[in-house]
Structure 1
Amino acid sequence: MEEDARVKAVKAVEAIFERYHLIAKARSYHGFDYELISSLKIISATPKGEVEFELVSDEKYGNLNRVMHGGAAALIFDMCTTTALGPLARPGYWDFLGGVTRSLNISYLKAIPTGTTVRIHSSVLQVGRTMALLRGEMRSVDGSVLFCTCEHHKVGVSTPKENLEVKVDWDGWWGEDGKQKAKI
């Protein structure tokens, strides 16, 4: 049963990525967040709102000093911590990209050289109807080096109707009453 819950949690995060890509394709959108979503590899997720990703910090995330740019780290944390809400989401409650950022506080601890593969761990610390507190860490793949951390406060807002009109498998998990169907 626990493994089924983890698989479902990963599928909830994948649904965010799937909807994102479908919307981007329909709008011919290829902004910097598109590049990030296309580069992230989902490693694991839990039903309580934890997600782990891998990402190669290549040149597009770097600066002239050949290390990850602080602004790139902010984008990475913004997107990765937000997706931790995916396993907790349901229609009308933190669905799709979970609202807007209220504050994103990052502590940069060690430079990330260009070409380094990092693990990003995101977790939901608290979530309510309209506010959420998320945490993120960016580490070396073996976990021995902590590069940076973040605390991310989000405010829940309704997902634009046109974004929810783009359907993904996740939408079929829910009944018209907004309750989860028994079988997924």
Structure 2
Amino acid sequence: MRSISDLKAMSPEERINAFLNVQSKGDHGFLAKFTEEQCKLHEIKQVSPTEIIVTFAFKVDRWYCNMSGNLHGGAQASIFDVLTSVALQAVTTKDGWLNAGVSRTLLCTYLRPAPEGEELLLDCEMIHIGKSLALLKGVLKRKRDGAIISTCEHNKAFVDSKPWLSKM
């Protein structure tokens, strides 16, 4: 188990990898498989002390596809939710934001399909973080040519709880 002070002492890259590697024994669900086995940190761009762009890489797995063989919109929304939150956690020092807060809104716009096997990159950008609200942006694109698959705008609210810390 890691403490809040342990997390605060970590670099953004160390935090991201810690969040992606939270092992949940016996958890065979969507998030466990995706974060622990498939999604990898690709790049971090520190724009300022409180602004960061985190890029994740993953391949479209059949598990997340719809009946037409493309990445399901609901899976994309879940991926945006989780990974934009991880980007937020990478740079914050407020205890409640270390728990990623809670989603207020998640607006996704889908532009083109991402077929099974396609390698994707997801840029997660922290636009603003305040005392009680944060705004994040996600852009999902094909790795081979940078074509945009979908985008999201994610609004979050601060909460003061830390239930996930015992899993780390």
Normalising to structure 2: TM-score of the pair?
0.83
1:42-80 Cα distance to aligned partner (Å, 9 max, x none): 011234222101111110110110111110100111111
Q: CA deviation at 1:166?
A: 4.6
Question: What is the rounded CA distance, in whole Å, between the counterparts of 1:46 and 1:144 in structure 2?
Answer: 17
Residue aligned with 1:164, SS: helix
1:91-112 Cα distance to aligned partner (Å, 9 max, x none): 514114x011111101100011
CA RMSD after TM alignment:
1.9
Residue aligned with 2:97, SS: coil
Q: Corresponding residue for 1:4?
A: none
Question: What is the rounded CA distance, in whole Å, between the counterparts of 1:30 and 1:120 in structure 2?
Answer: 23
Q: Corresponding residue for 1:164?
A: 165
Q: CA deviation at 1:130?
A: 1.6
Determine whether 1:78 maps to 2:81. Answer: yes
Normalising to structure 1: TM-score of the pair?
0.76
Q: CA deviation at 1:90?
A: 2.5
Q: Corresponding residue for 1:37?
A: 35
| Gapped regions of structure 1 (runs ≥ 5) | 1-6, 168-184
Match of 1:58 among 44, 57, 61: 61
How many residue pairs match? The answer is 154
Question: What is the rounded CA distance, in whole Å, between the counterparts of 2:65 and 2:167 in structure 1?
Answer: 33
| Gapped regions of structure 2 (runs ≥ 5) | 1-9
Q: CA deviation at 1:164?
A: 2.5
Determine whether 1:89 maps to 2:92. Answer: yes
Relative to its length, the structure with more strand (as a share) is 2
Match of 2:139 among 107, 126, 137: 137
1:123-163 Cα distance to aligned partner (Å, 9 max, x none): 10011122110000001114431110000011121233x53
Q: Corresponding residue for 1:128?
A: 130
